[in-house]
């Protein structure tokens, strides 16, 4: 493993941007680091995953036309969504896409460029999402895969092909969109200049890959009907595998790498809330818990020394400041003595207002930083439970498979089990996105006959957590309060924003 820090710019409320060239330089640096530590290793194939829905406008030579672009949580396309919803055929077209229209979808982001940056749109020769931009740099080929294409709102969910009707409804040009290839399909080979920069062999097969969320879910075996999973990362995602897309307006749906669908809900700012809490309580006005002498913790926004993973404390599998949050949060009781936290630092997608804001409710002079830490962890779980209730019954006993950085926390996994009222399972590989991408590369290399076969052979479970009856009863009452307060506040955010 190798990693490089990335920053996010928020020039206006609701906007979230990053630099495409920084994605590429980080990719080159990380691949080069891994290859230099493993001299002589023969790489059979390469697959990328990447944050979904971020759109890059490219010129004929494949150069970005803007230095920064809106990423997955950018909500500037709300106007384009509103105009689409005003169409008399909006519901029929939404059913064609098997999704509710949202500012997150790549198609609405392209429509924003068309309407708000017409000169840039006219110059563009193609629009690619993050992972496909990286693939273009790796092998020189423009392509996407079904997971990313289904997240554009421009694909016919039945046929899996670009929909002229949807593309026309958003006022776009189909010629600016790449061909769609299977996630494990080879689309090209590593270019000579990339080989020289990274240590990979020129011509090494590059497969289409998949969006990070779908790679993460694939990496924990969400490849058969009836399975549930959570991705505990920058965003927190709860998902169920199905043969069909769910047409409930409160649920989103994306194609999987194995040909089915994941129906899911998402809390955009979950990991951001934890990072905010860590920054706030350590070095910005307080301390969480004193680290052992000589131990230095690093956040993902700091550069650890060369060779360090950032998780430098051998006793903590849950890395950096977050392990200290666990230590403190564990001292507060279940329910944080009536303190609730609502994790909407980036608004909501489908279960509330996009203009909503994060908040603590019920704060008193008896609460301290331990209560706040626990309330943040619990609040993210309560919000996830709202989406999970749309996907499965808590009494069905289905194990929830958990991946992402947040799955390292034993305390948080126990909170998930207690609040979701179902068993929770972690996995040996925490970086599920990278693992899932490697599984797709194995298919492209011919090691497995299909993505489904690779999914059955390359997933290693970790530990299990089960609900505790007395704690679950406490959390049921907290969850009802959480839902009631959410609904009472939800209608106010439009006025608040103004």
Note the pLDDT tens digit of each residue in 93-108: 999 999 999 999 999 9
Average pLDDT over residues 8-26: 94
Q: How confident is the model at residue 486 (pLDDT cuts 50, 70, 90)?
A: very high
Instruction: Give me the residues paired with residue 155 across strands.
Output: 162
**Residues 292-308: what's their mean pLDDT?**
31
Q: Please give the share of the chain, as a percent, with pLDDT higher than 90.
A: 77
Q: How far apart are CA 105 and CA 53, in angstroms?
A: 6
Lowest-pLDDT choice from 219-228, 295-304, 440-449: 295-304
- Tens digit of pLDDT for each residue in 120-145? 999 999 999 999 999 999 999 999 99
Amino acid 288: pLDDT: 44
pLDDT-based confidence at residue 306 (cuts at 50, 70, 90)? very low
What confidence score (pLDDT) does residue 320 get?
Answer: 55
By mean pLDDT, which of 312-321, 450-459, 462-471 is the weakest? 312-321
Look at 26-30, 248-252, 261-265, 286-290 and tell me which has the smallest mean pLDDT.
286-290
pLDDT digits (tens, 9 = 90+) for 142-167: 999 999 999 999 999 999 999 999 99
Sequence length of the chain is: 498
pLDDT for the residue 377: 97
The pLDDT confidence band at residue 279, using thresholds 50, 70 and 90, is confident
Q: What rounded mean pLDDT belongs to the chain?
A: 90
For the segment 348-368, the average pLDDT, to the nearest whole number, is 93
Question: Is pLDDT of 298 > 60?
Answer: no
| Alpha-carbon distances of 81 from 52, 97, 108, 175, 270, rounded to whole Å | 18, 14, 7, 22, 24
Average pLDDT of the segment spanning 359-384:
96
- List the structure tokens of 393: 């019954």
Task: Choose the weakest-confidence range: 42-46, 375-379, 395-399.
Answer: 395-399
- Residue 315 has a pLDDT of 29
Cβ partners under 8 Å of residue 167, min gap 6: 107, 154, 173, 174, 177
Dihedral sign, Cα of residue 376, residue 380, residue 386, residue 388: negative
- Distance between CA atoms of residues 436 and 458, nearest Å: 9
Average pLDDT of the residues in 343-357? 90
**At residue 192, does pLDDT exceed 50?**
yes
User: For the purposes of burial, counting CB atoms within 10 Å of the CB of 20, is it exposed (0-12), middle (13-18) or buried (19 or more)?
Assistant: buried
pLDDT of residue 45: 98
Q: Measured between alpha carbons, how far is 227 from 175 in angstroms, rounded to an integer? A: 37
Q: According to the model, what pLDDT value does residue 260 have?
A: 95
Q: What pLDDT, on a 0 to 100 scale, did the predictor assign at position 109?
A: 98
* Per-residue pLDDT, 322: 75
pTM for the model stands at 0.84
Beta carbons of 218 and 429 less than 8 angstroms apart: no
Q: What CATH homologous superfamily does 270-497 map to? A: ATPase, nucleotide binding domain (3.30.420.40)
Please say if the pLDDT value at position 286 is more than 60.
no
pLDDT of residue 43: 97
pLDDT at 268 over 90: no
CATH 3.30.420.40 residue ranges of the chain are 1-22+41-208, 270-497
DSSP state of 150: T
Structure-model confidence comparison of residues 8 and 295, the more confident one: 8
Q: What are phi and psi for residue 486, nearest 5 degrees? A: -55, -50
More confident of the two residues 346 and 337: 337
Query: Which residues have CB under 8 Å from 144's CB, separation 6+?
Result: 128, 129, 132, 177, 178, 179, 180, 181, 208
pLDDT at 321: 64
The residue with greater pLDDT, 379 or 325, is 379
| Per-residue pLDDT at 299 exceeds 60 | no
Q: Is the pLDDT of residue 419 over 80?
A: yes
CB of 56 closer than 8 Å to CB of 23: no
| Owner of token pair 């279940």 | 334
* Residue-level pLDDT at 332: 97
pLDDT (0 to 100) of residue 354: 84
Asked if residue 180 has pLDDT above 60, the reply is: yes
pLDDT in the model for residue 283: 58
pLDDT of residue 309: 30
**pLDDT at residue 210 in the model:** 98
Using pLDDT thresholds of 50, 70 and 90, give the confidence band for residue 314. very low
On whether the CB atoms of residues 421 and 472 are closer than 8 A, the answer is: yes
What is the fold, at CATH topology level, of the domain defined by 1-22+41-208?
Nucleotidyltransferase; domain 5 (3.30.420)
Provide the percentage of residues in the chain whose pLDDT is more than 70: 92
């Amino acid at each position: 493993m190798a990693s490089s820090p990335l920053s996010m710019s928020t020039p206006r409320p609701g906007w979230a941007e990053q630099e495409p060239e920084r994605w590429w330089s980080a990719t080159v640096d990380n691949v080069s680091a891994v290859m230099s530590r493993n001299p002589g290793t023969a790489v059979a194939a390469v697959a990328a995953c990447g944050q979904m829905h971020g759109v890059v406008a490219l010129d004929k030579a494949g150069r970005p036309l803007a230095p920064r672009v809106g990423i997955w949580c950018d909500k500037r396309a709300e106007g384009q969504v509103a105009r689409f919803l005003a169409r008399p055929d909006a519901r029929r077209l939404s059913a064609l896409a098997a999704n509710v229209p949202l500012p997150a979808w790549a198609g609405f982001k392209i429509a924003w460029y068309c309407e708000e940056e017409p000169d840039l749109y006219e110059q563009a020769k193609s629009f690619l999402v993050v992972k496909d931009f990286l693939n273009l740099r790796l092998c020189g080929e423009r392509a996407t895969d079904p997971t990313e294409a289904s997240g554009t709102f421009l694909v016919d969910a039945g046929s899996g092909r670009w929909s002229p009707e949807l593309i026309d409804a958003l006022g776009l040009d189909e010629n600016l969109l790449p061909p769609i290839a299977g996630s494990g399909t080879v689309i090209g080979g590593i270019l000579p200049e990339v080989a020289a920069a990274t240590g990979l062999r020129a011509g090494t097969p590059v497969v289409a890959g998949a969006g990070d969320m779908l790679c993460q879910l694939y990496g924990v075996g969400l490849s058969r009907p009836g399975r549930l999973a959570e991705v505990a990362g920058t965003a927190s995602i709860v998902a169920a595998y199905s043969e069909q897309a769910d047409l409930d307006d409160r649920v989103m749906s994306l194609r999987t790498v194995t040909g089915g669908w994941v129906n899911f809900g998402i809390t955009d700012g979950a990991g951001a809330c934890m990072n905010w809490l860590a920054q706030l309580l350590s070095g910005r006005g307080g301390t969480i818990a004193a680290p052992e002498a000589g131990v230095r913790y690093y956040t993902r926004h700091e550069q650890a020394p060369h060779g360090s993973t950032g998780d430098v404390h051998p006793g903590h599998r849950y890395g950096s400041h977050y392990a200290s949050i666990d230590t403190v949060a564990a001292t507060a009781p279940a329910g944080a003595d009536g303190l609730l936290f609502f994790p909407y630092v980036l608004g909501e997608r489908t279960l509330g207002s996009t203009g909503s804001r994060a908040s603590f409710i019920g704060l008193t002079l008896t609460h301290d930083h331990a209560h706040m830490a626990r309330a943040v962890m619990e609040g993210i779980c309560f919000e996830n439970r709202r989406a999970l209730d749309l996907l499965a019954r808590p009494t069905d006993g289905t194990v929830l498979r958990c991946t992402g950085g947040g799955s390292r926390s034993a305390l948080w996994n126990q909170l998930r089990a207690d609040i979701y009222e179902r068993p929770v399972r972690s996995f040996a590989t925490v970086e599920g996105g990278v693992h899932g991408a490697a599984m797709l590369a194995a298919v492209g290399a011919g090691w497995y006959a299909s993505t489904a076969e690779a999914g059955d052979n390359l997933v290693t479970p970790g530990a299990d957590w089960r609900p505790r009856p007395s704690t679950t009863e406490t959390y049921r009452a907290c969850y009802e309060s959480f839902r009631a307060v959410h609904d009472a506040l939800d209608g106010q955010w439009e006025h608040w924003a103004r």
